[in-house]
Amino acid sequence: MERHPPWLLLIGVLAALILLPGPTLRLIFGLAQGLTILLLLLPAVVGVIGWLWWRRLQAQIKQCPNCGAPTMNPTTCPACGYSFVGAAPGSGGVDKTIDVQAETLDD
């Protein structure tokens, strides 16, 4: 004679664990609540990380003082071959002093 587990009893116990108020139902609602919060917060977290990444990428881009092309190459401009090494940022690589003399104009 073949013995088989009492399926109806097992299904009934599982249904009671899930449907009746108790730790199982609390666990299921807790998981649903956590998943909902995760799904709501995930786009915000991804957006903030993407925004920070974009800002960092933009900070690495500099403009060639010779031709004006934006580049991420730290040593030379890929467009015109201008060397950034030794050139102060924003000065254009040229050290020129401008002499200014003040004059009073008579009308």
Where does this chain touch Zn ion (CB under 5 A) — which range of 6-14, 22-30, 67-75, 93-101? Answer: 67-75
Half-sphere exposure of 55 (CA within 13 A, CB side): 6
- Taking CB under 5 A as the criterion, the residue among 66, 76, 87, 93 binding Zn ion is 66
Half-sphere exposure of 85 (CA within 13 A, CB side): 4
- Taking CB under 5 A as the criterion, the residue among 17, 76, 79, 93 binding Zn ion is 79
Contacts of 93 (CB under 8 A, 6+ apart): 65, 66, 82, 86, 87
The size of the interface with Zn ion (CB under 5 A), counted in residues, is 8
- Residues forming the site for Zn ion (CB under 5 A): 64, 66-67, 69, 77, 79-80, 82
